[in-house]
Amino acid sequence: MSIKCPFCESENTRLHLKLKDYFLSQEDFEIHECDDCKLLFTSPRPDKSVIGKYYKSENYLSHNEHKKGLVPFIYNCVKKINVKRKYKIATHTKPYLLDFGCGVGDFLHYAQQKGCEVMGCDLSEDARKLASEKLGKTIVTPEEIFTLPHSTFDVITMWHVLEHIDDLKFQADQLYRLLKDNGRLVIAVPNYKSYDAEYYKDKWAAYDVPRHLNHFHKESLENIFNGKFQLEKIHPMKWDAYYISMMSEKFAGHCNSFIRGIFRGFISNCKACRSGEYSSLIYVFHKI
């Protein structure tokens, strides 16, 4: 029996992969592919009332910048490097910028220091508190963002956030509504057609079920934003291949996961130099 696509509601779907939540719960999940809109989606999708428990871990690094150890240290060092590059990709002037799913606020803090007017939102109360302290201003919930008037922002960024969003159709409509004419939408997501995804298969850490409800490639992203946004450019996120490969090695139960992950990440980036299929990609859209 096919499972209805959560975006286009097509029943023309098929099983793509069976896997576990290797990060936390060890529960079984599936990923299905829609043959119409090309979206890959997680099944079953946890209800909003219980999804929070899958994020409650000290090892969830995007909301924990004080975790000790080699991998968290590398993660935070790379994050500082990436913030500067993200800013260059996302902005050309000094825009009014919304970071949707801002986490602990590192990107917003950097943009604020560069002279941008900024606003951030995040579902996590703990992340909002840390980001608010960092920026000296209140970080709000997504629900509060959706009450803002039309054409509020020049740029909206979503750094590894869209894969967590349950209602993609509603989200696309809101992003369109909130952006000014010809505004820019910058989205970073993992790429399931990368070499490391194909190599690790069900152990690929960037599937990260059930926290990641959606899994993207260029075609599915363009289908989601069709009629609202035009794709301008795609940028690689080369550092992600190393971190994702290290975590994937750990999920696979291999010893020396750090060394093995560095090697596999290097191979993935080398192959992506030819194919363009990096482990994660940044998509820059503009509002039509």
Write the pLDDT tens digit of every residue in 160-191: 999 999 999 999 999 999 999 999 999 999 99
Going by their DSSP bridges, the two strands 13-20 and 28-34 should be labelled as antiparallel
Stated as kind and residue range, the H or E segment containing 154 is strand 153-159
User: pLDDT tens for residues 221-271?
Assistant: 999 999 999 999 999 999 999 999 999 999 999 999 999 999 999 999 999
Reported pTM: 0.93
- Structure tokens belonging to residue 219: 């075609």
In the predicted model, what is the mean pLDDT of the chain? Answer: 93
pLDDT tops 80 at residue 70: no
pLDDT tops 70 at residue 67: no
Which residues sit opposite 99 in a β-bridge? 120, 157
Give dist(CA 41, CA 45) in Å, integer: 9
pLDDT tops 80 at residue 206: yes
Do 136 and 105 touch, CB atoms closer than 8 A? no
User: pLDDT tens for residues 134-150?
Assistant: 999 999 999 999 999 99
Residue 149 burial by Cβ neighbours in a 10 Å radius (0-12, 13-18, 19+): exposed
3-state helix, strand, coil in the chain (%, to 5): 40, 25, 35
Stated as kind and residue range, the H or E segment containing 121 is strand 117-121
Domains of the chain, start order: 13-287 (3.40.50.150)
CA proximity to 200, closest of 255, 273, 279, 256:
279
Residue 41 burial by Cβ neighbours in a 10 Å radius (0-12, 13-18, 19+): buried
User: pLDDT tens for residues 41-53?
Assistant: 999 999 988 998 9
